[in-house]
Amino acid sequence: MVGSVQPLFTAIDSVKHERELKTDVTSKLGEHFAATRSGIFFFDQISQLDPNLQKILKVALSIERNPVARYLTERHAPVHEGLVTSPKVWKMICPRPDHWHVMAGPIVVRGQLVGAVGCTRDRSMPAFDTQNLADLSGICLHLSMWAATTRSSPQSFKNELLTARELQIVELVALGRTNAEIGTELWITENSVKQALKRMFRKLEVSSRAEMVAQLASS
């Protein structure tokens, strides 16, 4: 029996930041679809990921290599591999056993494809079906509305660029702590604090501690 998607709608409505979206909603997504793996991706944040994961995603999202990605890009509609290719061809495109079945849906803002929702199952599990596609369609509409409102502010997006540790450093900088004091409080070296601040300045496109705090405070 197929479960209700209402808990997923409620979870999406309750999150304020993409960090929460990826932790709270992704787990519920995997449970609903009985997926081996699941994820929510925004394309403009791929550059912030681990280099190895960047390479994997660029291949996975390539419209030249991946018919699922091509269908998603051209139609802005949920799709699973059975709709666009044969099992034999799909095995050559994606040989991973935990990606034997793949389903993806679009996140669309102002007519532009800005992200995707993905679920996979391994070979021992049944393929995704039309009911799964219908459920994912509703979930993607909800995520698209969430993204259109939550991500509309550039400042809000910049806040999302920082890791949890970096946000801790920002809070301590705002309290007037020195690099040495921040290091002591967070149990890291003073040099680690310096390097973290350099990364944060680059991410936020600022040149001073005061500018960084002012920018994030305004969001």
Q: Report yes or no on 1 lying in a domain.
A: no
Identify which has the larger pLDDT, 58 or 99: 99
Answer yes or no: do 189 and 101 share one domain: no
Predicted local confidence at residue 62, as pLDDT: 72
pLDDT at 46 over 80: no
Q: Report yes or no on 92 lying in a domain.
A: yes
Q: Is the pTM of this model over 0.75?
A: no
Answer yes or no: do 78 and 141 share one domain: yes
Quick one: average pLDDT of 22-26? 86
Domain boundary residue among 107, 132, 152?
152
Q: Report yes or no on 185 lying in a domain.
A: yes
- pLDDT above 70 covers a percentage of the chain that reads 86
- pLDDT above 90 covers a percentage of the chain that reads 42
Per the structure, how many domains does the chain have?
A: 2
Contacts of 36 (CB under 8 A, 6+ apart): 98, 120, 121, 122, 125
Contacts of 8 (CB under 8 A, 6+ apart): 25, 28, 29, 32, 139, 142
11-25, 68-82, 162-176, range with greatest mean pLDDT: 68-82
Answer yes or no: do 142 and 116 share one domain: yes
What is the distance between the alpha carbons of residues 72 and 74, in angstroms, rounded to a whole number? Answer: 6
Answer yes or no: do 55 and 16 share one domain: yes
Domain assignment of residue 188, given as a range: 155-218
Contacts of 142 (CB under 8 A, 6+ apart): 8, 9, 12, 13
pLDDT at 1 over 60: no
Domain boundary residue among 104, 134, 152?
152
Domain boundary residue among 121, 152, 183?
152
Phi, psi of 218 (to 5 degrees): -70, -20
Contact (CB, 8 A) for 200 and 166: yes
Answer yes or no: do 108 and 177 share one domain: no
Domain holding 51: CATH number?
3.30.450.40
Answer yes or no: do 195 and 142 share one domain: no
Contacts of 60 (CB under 8 A, 6+ apart): 66, 69
Quick one: average pLDDT of 105-113? 89
pLDDT at 32 over 80: yes
